[in-house]
Amino acid sequence: MSSPLRTRAAAYDEASIRVLKGLEPVRQRPGMYTRTDSPLHIVQEVIDNAADEILSGFGSRIDVTVHADGSVTVVDDGRGIPVGLHPQEKVPVVEIVFTRLHAGGKFDKRAGGPYSFSGGLHGVGVSVTNALSERLEVTVWRDGQAHSMSFVDGEVAQPLRARPVRAGEQQHGTRVRVWPNPRYFDSAQLPLQELERLLRSKAVLLAGATVTLTVEKTATVQQWRYEGGLQEYLLTALGAEPIVPPFEGEGYAAADDEAFAEGEGARWVLAWTEDGPVARESFVNLIPTPAGGTHEAGLREGVFAAVRAFVDAHGLLPKGLRLMSEDVYARMSFLLSARVLDPQFQGQIKERLNSRDAVRLVASFVRPQLEFWLNQHPEYGRRLAELAIRQAQARTRAAQKVEKKKGSAVAVLPGKLTDCESTDIRRNELFLVEGDSAGGSAKMGRDKEFQAILPLRGKVLNTWEVERDRLFANAEVHDIAVAIGVDPHSLDEEVDLSGLRYGKICILADADVDGAHIQVLLLTLLLRHFPKLIERGHVYVARPPLYRVDVPAAGRRPPRRLYCLDDEELRTTLDKLVDEGVRAGSWTIARFKGLGEMSAEQLWETTMNPDTRRLLPVTIGEAGIASTLATMNMLMGRGEAAARRAWLEEHGNEVEADV
């Protein structure tokens, strides 16, 4: 009699491998490509395309209509999507745009390309819109003709056909009407308030463009047009009087800029208020980034540097008080619109910017302009300084209260621990670093204000079956426990975490198999003997890159350095470089054998800088704590060799290991 396991294994053959074609991947996993709470994002993809036309200097209006039947029409007066046959695919380009993933006009970033700056980068924008719609109709006015075609469930229903443009009809542009398919969304209703906010922000950022919204059910028409009114927009959102007049500025790289491509930069307006909610909105190439990202980090960095320079120059800081970035940022509202030639977003829905260069890009323009403005208006500078100093004093008082709760019984900290200066556990971070050489780079590259380093020698003991009273016999485990400041405990125990010295405990190991082993051993220690730290979100895994790619200058882009986490990201990065027009093979690829090979500057930029690093929180999986403990027992228990072997036989083919 065959076992269920063998039956399942026998069913795994060539026919088990399914190849998803066309738009099928989107329909299978819509959440990977768009937000599924409502159809707003698939409509936004169409609106973003219209905005990109205006951003590139072609077109002056966007008209959106929400129809009574739930469909939405977006019309622009741009160049119109090309309708001729694609030279390689021999299919009308407009059809490719709506039916093929990773196809679009925004990969071409060379000088004179159709879109030097745009939000569309993945080539899956309106193709996702089509995939998740019951019906989609497109009309393109171009070259004296009106070209139209329609799609049903993502497939061509009416092939492309053309007719002469009628009298009074627009001569160029695109009209797209979408009927979102409700089966892919939690709610089929379009959130009108969010749509209004999106369109209003497009009008603000596209100075001189006219944006209209028509809602058929209520017979309402709204129109927005701003002639550069960033201040007006922010002040309306604030609802409170700022303590100084808003500071508005912009800066863009010139053709001879050695650090950035011509045209890269930002516009911004800043305002500070004493109380009430703050208003913060940011955009990259007109794409809203509600989760922020590196462009916002650059704004914070530039603003803090300018205010601190003013405070230092005028001797305004009380003795013994340390001014930090959050003290200046806490009461600051802003509107930021960045232009980045080749932005890297987190995920297809583009809610957060990950481009590391954007930190320096925005900061390099904001700091000198704000510093000049503060010194030109010293009374404004003093008001801002006083506000920031009050925030710093409140933060210091709060940290002192936390310190008093810790009590006086403090263990002697391990000698190899390089501690941080701050006592505020809300900011403090401890990095458990593999090896002394990597520990040295981490010590030099860290921010000593809030980052502590504890280098570990060799591999940590497997503590899954070690009794608590024998735990401290191992020197490495003892040092970790003392540095953290929390006693070992079990999940069902009441434990006092008031002695916790760091809000984030970050495991920092090499990006290879040995590093992964050390990660597992440390996670084993924390799950078995310090589970409350994981349960309350204090444990993280840092993800250092495995590769560095040095890219020569290409077109408008200066030389740059890119980092890749693994082989898959390296392949994606190289493919993207080819799409940008970089000659294949002109780049240099370096593989890091370990953290010790990285300079302090590289380790800070890629792995430790809160604005540019990739830090994964460690949480209990969806299966629950009981299942997690059972799996860990099978993997780490001394008497579980037979279970491990069976598990490896079943799942070994799924492992991707660098050996």
Distance between CA 214 and CA 221 in Å, rounded?
A: 4
Question: In angstroms, how far is CA 480 from the centroid of its own chain?
Answer: 31
Q: Determine whether 304 is exposed, middle or buried from the number of CB atoms within 10 Å of its CB (0-12, 13-18, 19+).
A: buried
Which amino acids are annotated catalytic?
A: 434, 510, 512, 514
Residue of 239, 266, 203, 224 lying closest to 333 (CA atoms): 239
Assign 162 to helix, strand or coil.
strand
The count of other CB atoms within 10 Å of the CB of residue 321 is: 12
What's the rounded Cα separation, in Å, for the pair 186 and 183?
8
Provide the 10 A C-beta neighbour count for residue 447.
15
Neighbours of 104 (CB within 10 A): 23
Asked if residues 403 and 423 have their Cβ atoms less than 8 Å apart, the reply is yes
Cα dist. 191→49, 178, 404 in Å?
Answer: 20, 15, 48
Describe the crossing of helices 230-238 and 192-205 by its angle, rounded to 10 degrees.
Answer: 140
Q: Look up residue 644 and give its two tokens.
A: 């491990």
Q: Is-contact 268 341, C-beta < 8 A?
A: no
Opening angle at CA 101, ends 54 and 282, nearest 5: 40
CA distances from 167 to 148, 164, 281 (A): 17, 9, 42
Nearest CA among 437, 438, 418, 440 for reference residue 429: 418
Q: Give the pair of three-digit tokens for residue 377.
A: 């208006």
DSSP for 75-98, written as a single string: EE-SS----SB-TTT-SBHHHHHH
Amino acid identity at 512: D
Give me the amino acid identity at 50: A
